[in-house]
Structure 1
Amino acid sequence: MTAPPSGTPPDDPKLLKTGVGGLDEILGGGLLPDRLYLVEGTPGAGKTTIALQFLMAGARLGEPVMYVTLSETLEEVAGVAASHGWDLSGVALREMLPSQQALQPEEQYTVFHPSEVELGETTVRLLKEVEQVNPRRVVFDSLSELRLLAGSSLRYRRQILALKQFFAGRHCTVLLLDDMTAMEHDLQVQSIAHAVLRLEQLNPHYGTARRRLIVLKYRGQAYRGGFHDYKIRRGGLVVFPRLVAAEHARHQTLPRLSSGVDALDALLGGGMERGTSTLLLGAPGTGKSTVAVQFALAAARRGETSALFAFDESLSTLRTRCAGMGMDLEPHLADGKVRLRQVDTAELSPGEFVACIREAVVEFGARVIVIDSLNGYLNAMPDEKFLIAQLHELLTYLGQAGVVTLLVGAEHGLIGTQMQTPVDASYLADAVVLLRYYETDGEVRQAISVMKKRGGRHERSIRGFEMTSQGLVVGEPLKRFRGILTGVPTPSPDLASPPGLLAR
């Protein structure tokens, strides 16, 4: 079943918690007990980490748990645990590696094929250990060794079936790890397992490795399909479930958000409606980020929380620049009303970025979210079409939460009519604010206008705009010019020479 769970996964006491952050939400609450599960992935994808977290979750509940290693030594497993700061005292570790005597010439079999003898010996040792521990959770690492010992696909499948029946009768939940090192990936175990999780590791040309998982099947349980980013940190593996906005749908009527600048609010028809998204579009340096910060500061002064995610500008530069315009962020940073986060697209996956935004909304109650900029966000995505799909889900989720979202989009070029954006998100945003350079009287000046607003009426005028040491200044409508958006306006022939461009 691939129908996604709705909202928070149900707290079903019959389901086993995996101990992996975010994974239970994807699995619809956890794992059904007394079943056999398969976790497959290439070496380094995090299979051992996720298995140890599963066992430690059971140990914390007082369950007997057992880890059987067929390929790594106990010292190597202990090294993995030490790297995360874990205590494995509650986990029964059993090593089933071939003994050193197996390398002696006299131990090489001639009448029987080695696989026939070694598989039987390994099975006997395994069953003996299980009888002693009587675990409720057990992990086998890894299936590649059993596959080699079996010798043929028929014996391998029969062996897995026998293990499944044996442990089902003992009320034990089994996790099988497969490192996918076989020349041809077969589907034998996938067809037997109750659920299959695949871990993937992607290595881009630049930046850190990207990891993601997918639930290939889960019999009789609703789960969230598709790929989900995850990360291996000190302390364990953390999964970032794919955002599904429909799970958070709710209707609410909320007042407008003021910018604290009367002329800017007038241009926007009274401010920004809560639960809407606004795209601030313009050339570099026209003031897009400054306008976004102005709304965040206005919210902070009212006692609301804002979160700013900076892709391009360093936080120190942002703080210094704002202080130079009389927009002091420091008091609000100190009391937590403004939260800044530097986003490194080479280190942060798109799924983790969405998880950071959800944390800001749910944990810290952010009512204003600033993403600066879409250009940096695009660099975090492998393909533009995936960016648009994910951005749509994100904006829908934030809108349903009553959050005002400000997206900063930098256009290619500085002046003229041939300005281009790296990704067209204008149809997704509820409002589009355009900032432009234009030339007049031997100076380069700035103008601001609202090109689109779904939330209500707005001014159709183009106003002068300036960033001063006292903050933002939005002037009177530039009615005495035409062609401002071309960058080289001309005086309107039916009007006298223009007065000052800005009302100071």
Structure 2
Amino acid sequence: MYVGELLKGLDRLPTGVPGLDNLIGGGFLPGRVYLITGPPGSGKTTLGIQFLVEGANNDEKGLFISLFETQDVILRDMLRYNFGILEHFQSKRIAFYDLGEILLSTNRELTWDELFKLLIEIIKREKAKRVVIDSFSLFESFVSDPAGKKKALGRFVRLLRSLEVTTLLLAEMLSSEKYTDEYYLADGVIVLHHFMRNYQMVRALQILKMRGVPHDSNLKRLRFTTDGIRVYPEAPL
């Protein structure tokens, strides 16, 4: 490995989420794969869109691959924020791909390798540098070989790195005590939380894992604002 390639590891990619970059040494490592997980309504999709908008503002092509929601639903939900999201979609700085419609229309289940090959083809075709897949958890419903996930996912992650594509996998939190393959194979895991305390909703972000980056794994306060999600350095309670 050349020195120049090693020095790339010092680069950081801004996340687009105020307060988050400060917790992870300035941003994501470029070309890595990150898992964003949490319960419904915790802000996973909003975080993913903020990540793509940050890239679009810096002339980095973004791609949102959806397995459930349509483009119209995503746009309507995100228009309440000051993202300028409609302009980014219209200008194709952020592309939308409805993979769910494709998979639901096929007459057979795919293998994990076939599924990841399809994803790579889409990413290459769009020439994307930032990719969000929402929701990665739903892939389980479309595959014929659930036991083959780990090896296929490992190959997928390595290929994304070789393409220098920074990817966010958005996934539902099924259990705080059960970790799926993507927890181990992703370069970082960010958990979004919400829970009730004294009859009030408390929202928080936790950096469960971040390879190559010193980080604080304690809960940090999170709020939804008109500019999207914002993370604060203090504890939520």
Could you tell me which residue of structure 2 aligns to residue 149 of structure 1? 142
Number of aligned positions between the proteins: 223
Structure 1 unaligned residues grouped into runs of 5+ = 1-11, 109-113, 243-349, 352-380, 382-504
- The 1:74/1:170 distance shift into structure 2, 3 A limit, reads same
Return the alpha-carbon distance in structure 1 between the equivalents of residues 163 and 69 of structure 2.
26
Alignment partner of 1:233 out of 198, 214, 225? 225
- The 1:19/1:85 distance shift into structure 2, 3 A limit, reads same
- 1:116-155 aligned within 5 A: 116=110, 122-123=115-116, 125-155=118-148
> C-alpha displacement at 1:148, in angstroms?
2.3
Q: Please give the secondary structure, in 2, of the residue aligned with 1:116.
A: coil
Which structure would you say has the larger Rg? 1
- The 1:96/1:18 distance shift into structure 2, 3 A limit, reads same
Alignment partner of 1:32 out of 26, 29, 32? 29
The runs of 4+ residues in structure 1 deviating greater than 4 Å are 119-125, 181-184
2:196 matches 1:203: yes
Give the partner amino acid of 1:115: E
Q: Please give the secondary structure, in 1, of the residue aligned with 2:35.
A: strand
Q: Please give the secondary structure, in 1, of the residue aligned with 2:101.
A: coil
Q: Please give the secondary structure, in 2, of the residue aligned with 1:203.
A: strand
Return the alpha-carbon distance in structure 1 between the equivalents of residues 174 and 68 of structure 2.
12
2:65 matches 1:72: no
Alignment partner of 1:85 out of 69, 82, 97? 82
Return the alpha-carbon distance in structure 2 between the equivalents of residues 116 and 100 of structure 1.
9
Q: Deviations over 1:110-152 (max 9, x none)?
A: xxxx4336x6765454333222211111111111111222355
> C-alpha displacement at 1:153, in angstroms?
4.5
Return the alpha-carbon distance in structure 2 between the equivalents of residues 100 and 150 of structure 1.
10
Return the alpha-carbon distance in structure 2 between the equivalents of residues 121 and 192 of structure 1.
19
Return the alpha-carbon distance in structure 1 between the equivalents of residues 10 and 176 of structure 2.
41
8 Å CA contact 1:70–1:95 kept in 2: the answer is yes
Could you tell me which residue of structure 2 aligns to residue 163 of structure 1? 156
- The 1:62/1:16 distance shift into structure 2, 3 A limit, reads same
Give the partner amino acid of 1:131: K
8 Å CA contact 1:70–1:96 kept in 2: the answer is yes
Q: Deviations over 1:203-247 (max 9, x none)?
A: 23523x2111111111121112311010112220000113xxxxx
Could you tell me which residue of structure 2 aligns to residue 177 of structure 1? 170
Give the partner amino acid of 1:210: V
Could you tell me which residue of structure 2 aligns to residue 95 of structure 1? 98
Q: Please give the secondary structure, in 2, of the residue aligned with 1:238.
A: strand
- 1:295-310 aligned within 5 A: none
- The 1:100/1:178 distance shift into structure 2, 3 A limit, reads closer
- The 1:29/1:204 distance shift into structure 2, 3 A limit, reads same
* TM-score (structure 2 length as normaliser): 0.84
Could you tell me which residue of structure 2 aligns to residue 58 of structure 1? 55
Q: Please give the secondary structure, in 1, of the residue aligned with 2:197.
A: coil
Q: Please give the secondary structure, in 2, of the residue aligned with 1:115.
A: coil
Q: Please give the secondary structure, in 2, of the residue aligned with 1:161.
A: helix
Q: Deviations over 1:359-385 (max 9, x none)?
A: xxxxxxxxxxxxxxxxxxxxxx5xxxx
Alignment partner of 2:109 out of 115, 129, 137? 115
Return the alpha-carbon distance in structure 1 between the equivalents of residues 43 and 136 of structure 2.
15
2:214 matches 1:222: yes
8 Å CA contact 1:36–1:174 kept in 2: the answer is yes
**Alignment RMSD:** 2.6
Q: Please give the secondary structure, in 1, of the residue aligned with 2:65.
A: strand
Structure 2 unaligned residues grouped into runs of 5+ = 1-8
The structure with more helix, counted as a fraction of residues: 2
